[in-house]
Amino acid sequence: MRHKLPRILPILLLILMPSWAAAQSGATGSAALQRSTGVLSGTVADGSGNALAGVKVKVFEEGFLLTEGESGADGGYRLEIPYVPDIDWTLMVWYVPPTGELIPEILILRESLRSKELELWSPCLPRLELTARMSFDAVLYDEPGKLKQMSELDCMEGTQ
């Protein structure tokens, strides 16, 4: 009996992979996976209010890169985000600076129920309701600036 499992595993993967791939690629064969498009725009600045150019703005759906862009010379960005409306997936945006002096910012657009139950994401992370038109002005701090911001937000209570 134990010799059958290694032969069954590749078959199970072949059966499950098309469904998973379709969900991640946004295949529209099923009404449940039809995607809407949201637009997220805003600016990216440092803790002193200076516009930051070249910041990678990356959108992840369930941990997979969905789309990405980059802030312009004025710190502005605009991304079209294809998303599945009524599905329990986490959707988040990372603002990644071009150099290592600043700490990336994470924005939660939608948090799955399981992520909430497990408290996977810090209450210090900003959240924005996922809608057709969204605006978020990200501020990237160096380490002392980020620690100051978090203490001012008073969001670390109850965490270890």
Identify the pLDDT of residue 21. Answer: 46
Identify the pLDDT of residue 70. Answer: 98
| Residue-range domain boundaries for the chain | 34-153
For domain 34-153, give the CATH superfamily.
Answer: Aromatic compound dioxygenase (2.60.130.10)
Of the pLDDT bands very low, low, confident and very high (cuts 50, 70, 90), residue 124 is confident
Of the pLDDT bands very low, low, confident and very high (cuts 50, 70, 90), residue 20 is very low
Listed in sequence order, the residues at least 6 apart from 97 whose beta carbon sits closer than 8 Å to its beta carbon are 52, 54, 55, 103, 104, 140
Q: pLDDT (tens digit, 9 = 90+) per residue, 107-117?
A: 999 999 999 99
* For range 69-83, the mean pLDDT: 97
